[in-house]
Structure 1
Amino acid sequence: MKLTAQIKLQPTNEQATALTRTLRAANAACDFISAVAWNTHTFGKFALQKLCYQDVRAQFGLSAQMTVRALAKVGDAYKLDKKAQRTFRPLASIAYDDRILSFNLNELSVSLWTLDRRQTIPFVCGERQRAMLATRQGESDLLFHRGMWYLLVTCEVQELPPQDVDDVLGIDLGVTNIATDSDGTIYSGRTVKGVRYRHRRLRNKLQKKGTLSAKRRLRTLSGQEARFAKDVNHVISKQIVSAAEHTQRAIALEDLKGIRTRIRASRQQRTILHSWSFFQLRSFLSYKAQRAGIPVVSVDPRNTSRTCPACGHIAKANRPNQSRFTCVQCGCAGHADTIAAGNIRVLGRAAVIQPYVSDGGATSPAPETSRRLEACGL
């Protein structure tokens, strides 16, 4: 599977100037190519190469391969959207491949092409990223972000073969509790919620102030909150995958695509909902599980929090508040998120576990799965 290793470059002032000049020239070339594409209605990178390859090299001083990368960048941009002419930020990232970039992992340095000849620049990274670099494959993106230079390196990481699973670990994702599994483990979102609340109040004050120092502080706050949430999502996803791996279980998640537009919520709830990184946690779970050889299945989220696991009765009244589930028909009660995770597990088992073949040759779900499906009215 392909993963991205982020490494931090440590250029000298002269090297940083060369990198900046190269970014500006490459993105100016992209704007030039984009204008040609838009005016001639030519959007394929090979057709564009015939039209303006020589002009780009002569006008912007790019190497042959950097010109090819610029043409590919414009072609890829128009693949996404041909409704408007595409433009490129002066310091937007640019892609390097092995013809214009090479690594020395022993000395932790990288050699890359710039307008001012090739530059050999040292870099720093963690042990995990260093191990990933040994499997480097494909392109690397040169990125300038808040005064720092980075390379985002595509690596081909070997994944384990799929495990034979005996059961499923259901995961209910939420806002108050970031995740709850069908074993009853709750990953609370209280700390994340508190940090976001404090940051939101501080942002409001700084936005009203409007000074240059306030704007600088706002940029710093944005990065702090994003890094904090990312770290929390990494920790939670690692713990969930570890629990599934050690018990030979698949992972079942709700398909929450489009949830922000589907549900009705108050203004305060919308703020919390839109700041919750659904996709990030789910993507972390998916790639970590894939590396460990653990199957991941998506299930229909409808009524998972309203279905009684004992009698199968579905009602909005079964969940009188955010944390409590009490079936109005049979009285079955428990933590609402744990109940939902259990229902997700049942749906996941139906999708993952192989059908059970009885002595008479009839095919049906495995006995335990069958009982749970019946209990949920499925």
Structure 2
Amino acid sequence: MQITITAKLKIHVTEEQKDLLAQTSHAYKTGCNYVSNIVYETKNLVQTKLHKMTYVELRSTFGLRSQMAQSVMKTVIASYRSAKENGHDWSLVKYKRPVYDLVWNRDYSLVGGMFSVNTLEGRVKVPYEMKGMEHFFDGSWSFGTAKLISKKGEFFLHIPMTKEVHDADLNEVRNVVGVDFGLNFLATTFDSKDQTVFSKVAISKISDVSIDVPLNLSNREEQLLLEDD
């Protein structure tokens, strides 16, 4: 079976690169809102049809590069499908914060030990912090579509990493532990031996890696939470 873990990697950027990434994220967000309005009006979620309606405008008006324009459509389509699955049938999706989805080996890649990231002005090479993340670069993990995140003047790449693992042998399972993370400073665990543990470690200190599970918030719900921060 496959497991997917989101690695949150901090990248180190110069002031010039910071401006480029901020401009690119803003243009991407603006493009997403443009396409979102088209989807809302036409109720169309077919990328080939959206391409005919929006591609030229995304390139000429918003200055997006070719792959960015394609990714904008995919981002918006995914947001609407997620909203529909969560009972928000054809509600207008709005992107209020900068957003940028990067396709592996098209918008970002690894070159000479640094990430090469696509921007409106071409690629920039940025070093990154590997501490605690070394295992993701041992060749056994595949890189997925990353999200460029800006927080308090710093930039991060949130990358879904996928790996093939052997199915667990249920006969060898001795204990099952559930973990419930609080919003700020509390994590609670409960296992099949009826043991409960409360942790006061700040969630921000242990959330460098998060595991994607079926009960995750939808992209739209996650975005709404981020907007309220």
Report the TM-score when normalising by structure 2.
0.74
Aligned to 1:270: none
Are 2:204 and 1:227 equivalent residues in the alignment?
Answer: yes
Aligned to 1:142: 148
Please list, as runs of the form range in 1=range in 2, the aligned pairs for 1:219-368 lying within 5 A after superposition: 225-228=202-205, 230=207
User: Structure 2: which 5+ residue stretches go unaligned?
Assistant: 84-88, 214-229
The answer to whether the 8 Å contact 1:34/1:74 transfers is yes
The answer to whether the 8 Å contact 2:31/2:72 transfers is yes
Are 2:32 and 1:2 equivalent residues in the alignment?
Answer: no
Q: How far apart, in 1, do the equivalents of 2:103 and 2:51 lie?
A: 18
Residue 143 of structure 2: SS of its match in structure 1? strand
Flag the structure with higher helix content. 1
Residue 93 of structure 2: SS of its match in structure 1? coil
Structure of larger gyration radius? 1
Letter in 1 for 2:81: K
What is the CA distance between 1:151 and its match in structure 2?
0.7
Are 2:56 and 1:54 equivalent residues in the alignment?
Answer: yes
Residue 169 of structure 1: SS of its match in structure 2? coil
Letter in 2 for 1:130: E
Residue 152 of structure 1: SS of its match in structure 2? strand
Q: How far apart, in 2, do the equivalents of 1:229 and 1:113 lie?
A: 30
Flag the structure with higher strand content. 2
Equivalent of 2:126, from 107, 121, 124?
121
Structure 1 residues 170 and 111, CA, compared in 2 at 3 Å: closer, same or farther? closer
What is the CA distance between 1:11 and its match in structure 2?
0.5
Aligned to 2:135: 131
Deviation per CA, 1:244-272, whole angstroms, max 9, x where unpaired?
A: xxxxxxxxxxxxxxxxxxxxxxxxxxxxx
Larger relative CO (CA 8 A, sep 6+): 1 or 2? 2
Are 2:16 and 1:14 equivalent residues in the alignment?
Answer: yes
Aligned to 2:197: 188
Residue 142 of structure 1: SS of its match in structure 2? strand
Q: Which region of structure 1 is more displaced relative to structure 2, 173-182 or 160-169?
A: 173-182
Please list, as runs of the form range in 1=range in 2, the aligned pairs for 1:83-232 lying within 5 A after superposition: 83-104=90-111, 107-127=112-132, 129-133=133-137, 134=139, 135-163=141-169, 165=171, 168-169=174-175, 171=177, 178-182=188-192, 186-189=195-198, 191-192=199-200, 225-228=202-205, 230=207
Aligned to 1:261: none
Aligned to 1:77: 79
Letter in 2 for 1:110: F
Q: How far apart, in 2, do the equivalents of 1:170 and 1:281 lie?
A: 16
Q: Aligned residues: percent identity?
A: 19
Residue 13 of structure 2: SS of its match in structure 1? coil
Q: How far apart, in 1, do the equivalents of 2:211 and 2:42 lie?
A: 43
Cα RMSD between the aligned structures?
3.2
Residue 22 of structure 2: SS of its match in structure 1? helix
What is the CA distance between 1:180 and its match in structure 2?
4.7
What is the CA distance between 1:136 and its match in structure 2?
2.7
Deviation per CA, 1:311-358, whole angstroms, max 9, x where unpaired?
A: xxxxxxxxxxxxxxxxxxxxxxxxxxxxxxxxxxxxxxxxxxxxxxxx
Q: How far apart, in 2, do the equivalents of 1:282 and 1:8 lie?
A: 19
The 4+ residue runs of structure 1 with deviation greater than 3 A are 170-184, 228-231, 280-283
What is the CA distance between 1:52 and its match in structure 2?
1.2
Residue 145 of structure 2: SS of its match in structure 1? strand
Aligned to 2:219: none
What is the CA distance between 1:61 and its match in structure 2?
1.1
Structure 1 residues 172 and 103, CA, compared in 2 at 3 Å: closer, same or farther? closer
Letter in 2 for 1:151: L
Residue 120 of structure 1: SS of its match in structure 2? strand
The answer to whether the 8 Å contact 1:132/1:157 transfers is no
Residue 111 of structure 1: SS of its match in structure 2? strand
Q: How many residues align?
A: 201
